[in-house]
Structure 1
Amino acid sequence: MVPVKVVLAVEDRDYIEPLLNYVHGSEYARRLRITAFSQPEAFHQYMIETSGMKRPEVVVGEAAFLNLWTTRENADIPYLVLYEGEQVSEYEQLLLKYQPLSELVSSILETARQRSNSRKSVNSQEGGMIIGMVAASGGLGKTTTALNMSKQLGNEGYSVFYLNLETMDSSALFTGSDGSSGSQEEGLSRLLYDLKSEGKEGALLSMASYCVHRPEIQADTFQPVYNRKELMDMTCDEAKELIRTIAESGQYDVVIVDGDSEHGERAQAVLEASHKLIWLLADDLMSMHKCGLWLDVLATTQPEGLKAMICKTSFVVNRYMGTMINSLPRDFIELNGALPYIPSWKQMQHPELLLSSPIYQREIRHLCRELLDMESSAQPSVAWS
């Protein structure tokens, strides 16, 4: 299930910390994302600015905090008032402050469940937002960008799935698994089999039994596929069904799809199935040339599809060094962002450090904010304020 976003507002930090520790060490760790406040002013500011996918499902707090949230009646966000027996008659939804933590958390989740059917998806889409990563040639940093986005969004409290559809999956460098020891009856191979076996029922499949959680990238993903032929034989329709099954499973806010770098069946599926596309460029003649050629192919074979694709595409130059030397390959392209060149990555021996650059993370955060309309002052999923 999609983690429930909860705002907790209590003055006593000694109350907040045990609750957070309990959630993190229990079965609720994957079901809750808590942003905690002990200062009324910070809570008030957060509730004014919070919108989009960071909008909480439930607010739980003391009356002194909720009194500052003057727009609560119009916010369409359920709230629970923590009480100890004091007079709180002006509030209808009350929650006993001191009770077994399991019962406290269950009450919060039940409140979210009761409202979930009446809430629209933030993306105005069925299921999670699908973000496709595109590049006209290999070696442009597509996987590095995708995994940094995954980590950033996961740290922000979003539930993320990272799907790699490359024939040669380089993401194993980051997660430490090459798929060579994985069972062929598990993961992506089994899901593809089940989708073919169950047909239209596939959309109802739970992803939990197929994927693994990778804390390095703060996301669920599949073990890398050992049998590359499974990917090479995948049709466009099969790839689109796979992408949409994950997005519509009800588990994820965002699905990041790392597509192949050559125009083919899987690459076409990413173009068609994604709600948003990030098309990576490099400021060199060969990269720009190949990008233009790919766009020409799309313009010839599917002109109407190209128009729709451009509307949802952000063209981003990677390894940007402060100024552009080469021209963009086609006149209709507008550059929507830039990710910096990190010199220390050139001779790096430990790939996991590619997920740890503060400068790169800053620009990734900006890119995520543009894509998902994240508020600029978002708090972490568990915050002290």
Structure 2
Amino acid sequence: MAKRVILAMRQHEYVAKLAQYLREEEPAWAISAFTHEEALHRELQNGRVFDVWIAELAMLLELSEFSSGNSKAVALVEEIGTGRGEWLEIQQYQPLPALLAHIRSALAGPVSVSPSGCRIVSLFSASGGAGKTTAALNLVRQAGERGFRTFYLNLETLNATASFFGKGEPDSLSRLLYSLQAHPDNGVEHFERFCRHHSQLRTHYIDAPDHPGERLALTPILLESLLEGLRSTGRFDLIIIDPDSGAGDWHMKLLDLSDQVVWLTADDAQSFAKADKLLRYWQGQSSMKLDKVLFVMNRARHEASRQCTLPGGSPAAILPYIPEWKTVDQLGRLLGSPAFCGAIDMLLDQLNIVIRAPNAGRRKEGEHNGTDRAHVRGTG
């Protein structure tokens, strides 16, 4: 179905360039461009149907009788977080392909987010070996590049990420859970003690345990306490969770608590059958809603198989197979595949994890010589 998009910006050159680009990339869209409040006011007053209205913040404020509380209104802002929290925000000055990705996300509809503003995205699979950890680490790193304050939480019974993060303090999780139960009002202090930061991944994390007993002792109550504690710190915008492929009570609780679930599967009949069976079981046991689940095929060597039996009939995204990763034990090599990074970028767009703020280095450079914004404005 054709989408009707309204663009509203006082800068004639900006609106013309963006409208032309959208018409070239999305010929099925009906694009209407406005540079004056009066003309846009008449358009809105006439009650014509549209799918999304993307406007500079000043015009949204000027036409607040239409924009306030309107889920179809999107604010174009110079820096994310300046739009008063009333509308979805898109950073105005950035490459046109990135702008298009964000507009597509806006057209896809709102995403359920926890009241705290911190989103939980869990990666899951019905069987082992689906590549959850590699996908999770790439998601964390690229979400960090988009300006999100991230936390990576590995909940695998046998956690091998120490080869990437270092051994650290292997009893960190058990000590943190004990502290949260014994002194629940001191959550921020507890996380300051046990959380570490990884500069290459641009994320915080907890050291992996040496013994699987710590993970096996995890209960739904402990899990909920841990996630509530993470959210209550106010330090994170996004928590990426990497569990094992179990089917226990805390796994079910995790999916219920997650804002979104990336369910990984391989392109073979056994993987599809296991995913379908586990999904049916959980739908009968919990309140998990399918609209927050994205089924993603990982390690794909070709197009999605016709034998896929998952909801929707085909994967929402496809992550490529990288043969060089068979023997990789260095984190940098897992983050350096252009093909995989491109697929993760598209997956982030589908998850509506859009760019929140300019990269700090680029912002600093732009403040010194003014080249950053000029470059973005002229990027096609």
- TM interval, short-chain normalised: 0.5 to 0.7
Please list the CA deviations of residues 147-177 of structure 1 after superposition, one character each: whole Å capped at 9, or x if unmatched. 00001011222110001111111322322x1
- Cα separation, partners in 2 of 1:204 and 1:373, compared to 1, 3 Å: closer
SS of match in other structure, 1:356: coil
Helix, strand or coil at the partner of 2:349: helix
Q: Report the CA distance between 1:73 and its aligned residue.
A: 3.6
Residue in structure 2 matched with residue 374 of structure 1 by the alignment: 354
Q: 2:197 aligned with 1:224, yes or no?
A: no
Q: What residue number does 2:96 align with?
A: none
Name the structure 2 match of 1:140.
Answer: 130
CA shift at 1:281, angstroms?
0.8
Q: Within 2, Cα distance between the matches of 1:158 and 1:286?
A: 36
Pick closer, same or farther for the CA change 1:231–1:247 going to 2, 3 Å: same
Report the residue type matching 1:191 in the other structure: L
TM-fit CA distance, 1:358 = 1.4
Which residue of structure 1 lines up, in the alignment, with residue 276 of structure 2? 292
Q: 1:361 to 1:317 in 2, by over 3 A?
A: same
Which of 314, 327, 343 is the matching residue for 2:323? 343
Q: Does 1:254 align with 2:243?
A: no
Instruction: Please tell me whether the aligned partners of residues 134 and 279 of structure 1 are also in contact (alpha carbons under 8 angstroms).
Output: yes
Which whole-Å CA distance do the structure 2 matches of 1:329 and 1:278 have between them? 17
Report whether the alignment pairs 1:170 with 2:143.
no
Q: Percent identity at matched positions?
A: 28
Q: Secondary structure at the match of 2:120?
A: strand
Q: C-alpha offsets along residues 196-231 of structure 1, whole Å, 9 cap, x if unaligned?
A: 1124x3655562222000123110000112343122
**In structure 2, C-alpha distance between the alignment counterparts of 1:283 and 1:330, rounded to whole Å:** 11
Q: What is the letter of the counterpart of residue 201 of structure 2?
A: I
In 1: Cα distance, 2:87 partner to 2:135 partner: 26
Identify if the C-alpha distance between structure 1 residues 288 and 247 changes in structure 2 by more than 3 Å, giving closer, same or farther.
same
Shift of 1:138: 0.9
Inter-CA distance 327–263: structure 2 relative to 1 (3 Å threshold): same
**C-alpha deviation, 1:250, in angstroms:** 0.4
Q: Is the 8 A contact 1:178 1:223 kept in 2?
A: yes
Is this contact kept in 1: 2:266–2:272, CA < 8 A?
yes
For 1:350-365, list aligned pairs within 5 A: 350-365=330-345
Taking the aligned partners of 2:251 and 2:313, their CA distance within structure 1 comes to: 20
Which position in structure 1 is the counterpart of 2:199?
A: 215
Deviation at 1:265, TM superposition (A): 3.0
SS at structure 2 position matched to 1:251: coil
**Match in the other structure for 1:239:** 223
Is 1:155 matched up with 2:145? Answer: yes
Change (3 A) 1:345 1:169: same
Q: Residue 176 of structure 2 contacts residue 190 of structure 2 at CA under 8 Å; is this kept in 1? A: no
The size of the alignment, in residue pairs, is: 273
Once the two structures are superposed, the pairs formed by residues 1-385 of structure 1 within 5 Å of their partners are: 71=56, 73=58, 119=85, 123=113, 125-175=115-165, 177-179=166-168, 182=169, 184=171, 187-199=172-184, 201=185, 205=189, 207-302=191-286, 305-306=287-288, 308=289, 310-325=290-305, 327-331=307-311, 334-348=314-328, 350-374=330-354, 380-383=359-362, 384=372, 385=375
Point out which structure has higher relative CO (alpha carbons under 8 A, 6+ apart). Answer: 1
CA RMSD in angstroms, aligned pairs only: 3.2
Question: Residues of 2 paired with 1:146 and 1:130: CA distance?
Answer: 12
Once the two structures are superposed, what CA deviation does each residue of 1:14-63 show, in whole Å capped at 9, x if it has no partner? xxxxxxxxxxxxxxxxxxxxxxxxxxx99xx99xxxxxxxxxxxxxxxxx
Unaligned runs of at least 5 residues, structure 2 = 1-12, 19-54, 62-80, 89-112, 363-371, 376-380
Residue 326 of structure 1 and its aligned partner are, at CA, apart by 5.3
Could you tell me how far apart the structure 2 residues matched to 1:365 and 1:330 are? 23
